[in-house]
Structure 1
C-alpha cells in the first residue's frame, strides 16, 4: 500500500528524505502548537508511556510508512505530526496501543474545547422561510445553497429527505408526496417554531409543495414570513 502524503506540518518536521534524528524531531514537535506536542509531552513526562529517543536516528521511509499506517487507521488522508509520534513509539518498540489511547483522549479534549468555544448565531427577531420551487434541472438546489451560505441558514430539500428514506424501502407511489410534504413541513416548523430556534430557513421543494403567501402561525409564532422563489417557471411543458 502506498504511503499517504505528508501534511505540510509534518513535512516541515521530517523533510523529504534522509535519516531523522528522533531527539531533534521531538524537540521540533514540542515547540509546535497542536495535538502532537501534547501527545509527545504526555508520553515523555509523568505518563508511564515514554519514548526513549536518546540520540537515535530512524530511516525516513520507515518512519513515514509507520506514520502512514497510523494516519490510515484514523481515517486521515495526510500524515500529520501526531502520526509521526505514534510511529516513533512503534519503531522504538513502545506500548503503541497505550499511545493511541492517549492521542484519542487528546483529540477528545480538543473537540470539547472547540465545542465550548462555539457561540450561538445571532438570529433574526422574526423567523423567515424562503421557498425555492421550479421544474427539475433549473438550479433550485444551487440557488438554495447560495442563499443559505449568505444567510447562514439551513437548507431542507425534498429530494434529500426522500433520498434518505430510499434504503428503508418505505416509499411508494401513493405515499411519496405526502411523506415529502410532512418531512418538509416538520423541518420548517422545527426551524421556525420554538423560540430557541427562530431564524432563517431555505426550503427546496418541487411543484407539489404548497405555496404560502401570507404570514403563517407555527407553534404559536405568528411572524414567520414566507418568501417564494420560482426558478425556471412552473410549467413542466
Structure 2
C-alpha cells in the first residue's frame, strides 16, 4: 500500500474514534463518555490509554468486568470514582454484550434488594442511574454497537430519575450534583440550573471536584467543565 493511502487510512480510523465526542460537544450533550473524570490515585478499572477511549492494546478480560466493577463500587467509594469507573466499564462493556447486560442487572438487583430490606442505598441507586445514562451514550449508537441489532440493556430505563432518587436519599452531595448536572446538560433546564449551582457551590470545599471543574471537556480549546455548566445555567 502506498504511503499516502496508509496515512489516509490512519486518519480515517482516528476520525471515527473521536467523532462521537465532537458530536457530543456540538450538541452540548452530557459528556459521560468523552470526558474522563479526575480521581487522583483512587483505584478504578485498569486504564492504559492516554485519552478518553480504549487504545486497542488493553488485555483486560471482560469476563471479569462485573466482578471487578462491583468490587470497586463499595460504600466508601467517592462518587467521582464511581463516575469514572462506570465510564470505563461502559467502554469495556461495548465489547461484550453479555457483560454489559449482567453488570446493569447486578447493580439494579443490589439497589432493589437494599430497598426491599428497608435500607434504601443512595449510592446503589446512583450507580444504576449513572450507568444507564452512560450506556445510552455509547452502546447501540451508530459508532459502537454492542450486538448486531444494537440492543442496549438500558433502553427504557430513566437513569436521571434514579440519580435524582439517589440525591434525595443521600442529601447534600456536590459530587452527585455534578453527575446530575452532566446528565441534564440538554435538559430539563430548571433541574440542570439547580444541579449546576449546587455543584459549583460545593466545589469550594471539595478540592477534587474543583479540579474536575477546572478540566477542559475535550482538547485545550474547549470550555472547562465549570464554564460549560455556568454557560448552560445562564442560558436557562
TM over 0.5: no
Greater radius of gyration (CA): 1
Question: Which bracket does the TM-score occupy, shorter chain normalised?
Answer: under 0.3
**Structure whose residues are more often helix by fraction:** 2
Q: TM-score, normalised by structure 1?
A: 0.20
